[in-house]
Structure 1
Amino acid sequence: MPEHTHLSLADAQALVMAHARTGEIEEIPLESAQGRVIARDIRANRDLPPYDISAMDGFAVRSADLAAGGAALPVVADIKAGDRPTAAITAGQCVRIMTGAPLPEGADAVVRCEDTRIDADGAVIFPAAVPAGNDIRRRGEVMRRDAVVLEAGSVVTPGVVGVLATVKCARVPVHRRPTVAILATGDELEALEDAFDADRIPESNSYAILAQLQAIGIAPQRLGIAADDPEALREALCRGLDHDILLVSGGSSVGVHDHVRPVLEALGAELHFWRVAMRPGHPLVFATHGDCRIFGLPGNPVSSMVCVEEFVIPLLRRHLGHRQCYRETVPVRLARNFKHAPGRCEFVRVTLTPDAAGMLWARSTGSQSSGDLLSMAMADGLLFIPATSDGLAAGEIARVQRIASNRFQETALP
């Protein structure tokens, strides 16, 4: 790729997603399936309910007995959930029945307790007629044997866990979680476990990235800090190339000590792009080496986190089997002007506050320096300013990616 090439955000995202693949299918215990994506259609193993049941606590009757506008009927049996009625009811009889209990033969309606009263002789007074089928749940109303109840691609939520238990799916087919390695680079970095040195920079990128990926169900491995030395970097990169995804923080720009691109090329990696027309996050490398997809992330912490949001998280969610891979975008009204020079799209860290009508108002978190992590920590979302824009005016409607929520959509930003 020519050195001067700057891909648009959309083209770069499309190229990354062209290298996405869903993980192999594995079966995991139902108790561990929350949040995962079902990899095969799940079918019902029975009719549910398995027979006609009562939807209410009440009395099973023959609707014909109440057709004249009511009746007084003796109770001839009592059926609770789990019972198997052995006798049919005949004309002029009723049966006390509990919610979920099977309907006795001969009955075609249920009248709830609160719509009846008991006379002095113990007979049940039904003051009004009811239609056949009243308060009855029919056999197979919830699910039919062999019918697909959960399609491949469904996300496992608590309700889905209940459905899986209902069809006795003790081991759930899901897409394997990708393995991810995170490598920080730079002689200037001070590791968390190092002694305090006021002249060095604390290494925070790998921890922020770790948290971003943990939030979507990934458990990355941190590989530590590699020095700005080609041999040291080569050794560290080789440790990461046996993962599905390798994220390298720093060393991807054009400085004489930025060795990530040349070392990757020397290792046989194919570079697909290394600059994107976006701010922050311009010096982004994307490469592949066998089955490993490699991102050379900018060293500035906010730039690194924005690139993870726009490129890495969508790729990982596709690997997990999700259809909705991109952060949800919502319309907002701008509380102030936002300056912008055309040429690159921009992501501005903003807070979101609803007004009385429910409209979200976006306000800058303050400094938009790509090294200011506090502005990212305060942000509810990223205000998107298109590359063609010459600025946005106060009161205007714009789009914001909600990075503080866990909602996603199928399409990327325009």
Structure 2
Amino acid sequence: MSACGYENGLISIDEAIQYILSTPKTLATESILVKNSLSRYLSEAVYSPVNLPSFDQSAVDGYALCSQQTDSKEQVFQLIGEVRAGEESHLALSEGQAIRIFTGGKIPDGTSTVARQEIVKIMDDQNIRIVENLNIGVDIRREGEEVKYGQCLANVGQYMNIGSLAALSMAGVQRVSVYKQAKVAVVVTGDEVAQSQNSLSNAQVFDANGPLLKNWLKQYGIDAHVIHVEDQASAVTALFEGLKSEYDVIITTGGVSVGDYDFVRPCSFDVGFQQVFWKVKQKPGKPLYFAKYEKQQKNCYLLGLPGNPAAVYVCMQVYGKLLLDALQNKREQKSGFKAKITHDLKADHRERFLRMVATFNQSTLEVSALAKQQSHMLSNLMLTDCLVRIPAAKQINAGELVDGLFI
């Protein structure tokens, strides 16, 4: 073993990413209600069951008019009724007639155009006058102008965010086929981690990793089971034996390095896991461990994170998201950004993920590193909005472009 960063057996960040993307087998699919599909990926394309709009409708509050005259200014129309949004009306217009209509109301037969109420003068209960010229067909939303019946609304792999969920709901889609969400267990190792404030001793620390991972996964749509385990090989082995057949993913914190009480890796071997990789040439998070258990149609993947909470946070942003996405057949890296760095950075033997803050300076995106970057420190996450990847063994000068990932 040589100087830090040159240890034999370390793989690159890009190699680790490719292993994470290519190793997991895609989860099965299921049909669920659209309203419950947030944070899921579609396993089948979705086609519109209707036209959108599904009928000609008014784009404004105003009056539906019937007139073939090109000069509508000062023209008087006989008012014969009213159509509200959601109301089925059988009124029809003849030349010179008008119907009061509201936004979203169904356009009556015979309508040539709609006059918004701001350009209409009410003369009496039965007559209105137009005070501006109107083109034929204005302020009418035509049937199918946004979406045609049978049109593809969403392809396989579409991520269901709030916008896509709303778009499918508007088209009347009731159910979608999605990849199943991973069932995840979080295992916090370490006798030094107190499980509660009442149990904290003078030689222990508060648990940041459990709440961090529980809520990180919650944002992803996963209700993870968090378990604390003592630093005993028998306890870790027994826990893995029980979890591997029940969960799709086990995420551990601590216990993946080379210490006397680092049992995650050897205990995973004892219960049938196969190592995909161990140790990445990066900072923080060098002892990152990834393993798979694939037996008799049951697959489980173990992502062993270091114990220091900043390394946990960074590795979840870079690798955890990729693993969960790959299980839902999304096997591509999240696109990042390029920005100018505002200060110099000294070279380091390993590639680094630095917590930074991004700002715009006269339309130029700039990033600045925050203080307290050590892997046991989290206080700068109050300000962090991006991770910036700094190449190994390279001095970075102020003004250079660097690669970042918004978080």
**Would the TM-score normalized by the shorter structure come out above 0.5?**
yes
Equivalent residue for 2:353, pick from 347, 354, 371:
347
Q: 1:265 to 1:159 in 2, by over 3 A?
A: closer
1:336 lines up with 2:340 in the alignment: no
User: Which string of whole-angstrom CA distances, capped at 9 and with x for unpartnered residues, describes residues 20-47 of structure 1?
Assistant: 3443222334443333333333333333
SS of 1:273's partner is: strand
Q: 1:131 to 1:316 in 2, by over 3 A?
A: same
Does structure 2 retain, via aligned residues, the 8 Å contact 1:43–1:167? no
Does structure 2 retain, via aligned residues, the 8 Å contact 1:65–1:92? no
Equivalent residue for 2:179, pick from 175, 189, 194:
175
Report the CA distance between 1:18 and its aligned residue.
0.3
Q: What is the aligned partner in structure 2 of residue 11 from structure 1? A: 15
Does structure 2 retain, via aligned residues, the 8 Å contact 1:183–1:226? no
Separation in 1, partners of 2:373, 2:145: 56
**1:181-196, aligned counterparts within 5 Å?**
181-192=185-196, 195-196=199-200
Q: What is the aligned partner in structure 1 of residue 306 from structure 2? A: 298
Instruction: Give the TM-score normalised by structure 1.
Output: 0.84
Separation in 2, partners of 1:189, 1:308: 20
RMSD over equivalenced CA pairs, Å: 2.9
User: Which string of whole-angstrom CA distances, capped at 9 and with x for unpartnered residues, describes residues 171-216 of structure 1?
Assistant: 4433221011122233444332662321234443333222322232
Report the CA distance between 1:358 and its aligned residue.
4.7
1:399 lines up with 2:403 in the alignment: yes
Q: What is the aligned partner in structure 1 of residue 326 from structure 2? A: 318
Separation in 2, partners of 1:162, 1:352: 30
SS of 1:261's partner is: helix
Q: Which amino acid aligns with 2:318?
A: E
Separation in 1, partners of 2:25, 2:366: 37
Separation in 1, partners of 2:104, 2:206: 62
1:238 lines up with 2:241 in the alignment: yes
Separation in 2, partners of 1:382, 1:34: 25
Q: What is the aligned partner in structure 1 of residue 269 from structure 2? A: 265
Of stretches 282-291 and 328-337 in structure 1, the one that deviates more from structure 2 is 328-337
Report the CA distance between 1:72 and its aligned residue.
2.4
- Number of residue pairs the alignment of both structures matches: 396
**1:198-277, aligned counterparts within 5 Å?**
198-227=202-231, 229-242=232-245, 243-277=247-281
Separation in 2, partners of 1:172, 1:333: 42
SS of 2:388's partner is: strand
Does structure 2 retain, via aligned residues, the 8 Å contact 1:63–1:129? no
Separation in 2, partners of 1:216, 1:255: 32
Separation in 2, partners of 1:254, 1:67: 86
Report the CA distance between 1:86 and its aligned residue.
3.4
Separation in 1, partners of 2:374, 2:64: 72
Separation in 2, partners of 1:240, 1:325: 28
Of stretches 6-15 and 172-181 in structure 1, the one that deviates more from structure 2 is 172-181
1:366 lines up with 2:335 in the alignment: no
Q: 1:302 to 1:151 in 2, by over 3 A?
A: same
Q: Which amino acid aligns with 2:303?
A: F
Of stretches 4-13 and 65-74 in structure 1, the one that deviates more from structure 2 is 65-74
Separation in 2, partners of 1:285, 1:381: 24
Separation in 2, partners of 1:38, 1:203: 36
Report the CA distance between 1:121 and its aligned residue.
8.9
Separation in 2, partners of 1:252, 1:263: 10
Does structure 2 retain, via aligned residues, the 8 Å contact 1:116–1:125? yes
List alignment gaps of at least 5 residues for structure 2.
1-6
Q: 1:70 to 1:150 in 2, by over 3 A?
A: farther
Q: What is the aligned partner in structure 1 of residue 386 from structure 2? A: 381
SS of 1:65's partner is: coil
Separation in 2, partners of 1:78, 1:376: 57
Q: Which amino acid aligns with 1:372?
A: M
1:95 lines up with 2:99 in the alignment: yes
Q: Which amino acid aligns with 1:350?
A: M
Equivalent residue for 2:143, pick from 131, 139, 148:
139
Does structure 2 retain, via aligned residues, the 8 Å contact 1:317–1:325? no
Separation in 2, partners of 1:361, 1:110: 49
SS of 2:69's partner is: helix
SS of 2:107's partner is: coil
User: Which string of whole-angstrom CA distances, capped at 9 and with x for unpartnered residues, describes residues 88-139 of structure 1?
Assistant: 4333333333333333333222222222324469533235553332222212
Does structure 2 retain, via aligned residues, the 8 Å contact 1:274–1:283? yes
Q: What is the aligned partner in structure 1 of residue 286 from structure 2? A: 282
1:163 lines up with 2:163 in the alignment: no
Separation in 1, partners of 2:125, 2:208: 80
Report the CA distance between 1:292 and its aligned residue.
0.7
Separation in 2, partners of 1:376, 1:118: 61
Q: 1:323 to 1:117 in 2, by over 3 A?
A: farther
User: Which string of whole-angstrom CA distances, capped at 9 and with x for unpartnered residues, describes residues 319-365 of structure 1?
Assistant: 34657753x633333333211234x211122234444x254543333
Instruction: Give the TM-score normalised by structure 2.
Output: 0.85
List alignment gaps of at least 5 residues for structure 1.
404-414
Q: Which amino acid aligns with 1:54?
A: S
Q: What is the aligned partner in structure 2 of residue 76 from structure 1? A: 80
